[in-house]
């Protein structure tokens, strides 16, 4: 009986460890690749944007609102947004083809790169919880 209980508990532990989400550093690493593929063209290599009509990602107060940040990436912006006190038109592109984990990875990269620092990890569940534009 003790052997069975030990084996059962050990199996549960193995399963729990195997489904644990990836580390923040791995997520940021994967997010950097996604950023280069989907975001770099408009937001630039330092997240400062290439034109005055595209909001910066570097040192952006908008990124503090996780739900809105997720919504913009998933659904685009249909209305103007404010970043660091400046208004930007609501015609943003969406990252078509990205799944929830890829969106969480790119947000973890952006929120922890350049002058941004936010060690709260965005998960695929956080992304999945946003079902419609905010």
pTM of the model: 0.81
Tokens 């997520």 map to which residue?
A: 27
Tell me if 80 sits within 8 A of 45, measured CB to CB: no
Instruction: State the CATH class of domain 24-128.
Output: mainly alpha
pLDDT: is 89 or 59 the higher one? 59
Q: What is the pLDDT of residue 89?
A: 86
Tell me if 58 sits within 8 A of 114, measured CB to CB: yes
**Phi/psi at 23 (5° precision):** -70, 160
CA distance 80 to 69: 13
Neighbours of 53 (CB within 10 A): 10
pLDDT band at 134 (very low <50, low <70, confident <90, very high): confident
pLDDT digits (tens, 9 = 90+) for 31-88: 999 999 999 999 999 999 988 889 999 999 999 999 999 999 999 888 899 999 999 9
Calculate what percentage of the chain has a pLDDT beyond 70.
84
pLDDT digits (tens, 9 = 90+) for 101-123: 999 999 999 999 999 998 789 99
Which sequence spans correspond to the domains of the chain? Answer: 24-128
CA distance 104 to 51: 25
pLDDT: is 110 or 2 the higher one? 110
């Amino acid at each position: 009986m003790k052997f069975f209980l030990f084996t059962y508990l050990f199996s549960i532990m193995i399963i729990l460890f195997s489904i644990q989400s990836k580390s923040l550093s791995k997520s940021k690493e994967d997010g950097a690749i996604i950023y280069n593929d989907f975001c770099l063209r408009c937001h630039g290599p330092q997240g400062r944007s290439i034109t005055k009509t595209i909001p910066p990602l570097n040192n952006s107060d908008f990124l503090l609102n996780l739900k809105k940040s997720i919504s913009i990436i998933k659904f685009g912006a249909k209305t103007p947004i404010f970043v660091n006190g400046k208004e930007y038109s609501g015609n943003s592109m969406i990252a078509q083809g990205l799944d929830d984990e890829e969106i969480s990875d790119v947000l973890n990269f952006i929120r922890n790169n350049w002058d941004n620092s936010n060690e709260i990890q965005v998960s695929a569940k956080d992304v999945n919880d946003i079902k419609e534009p905010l």
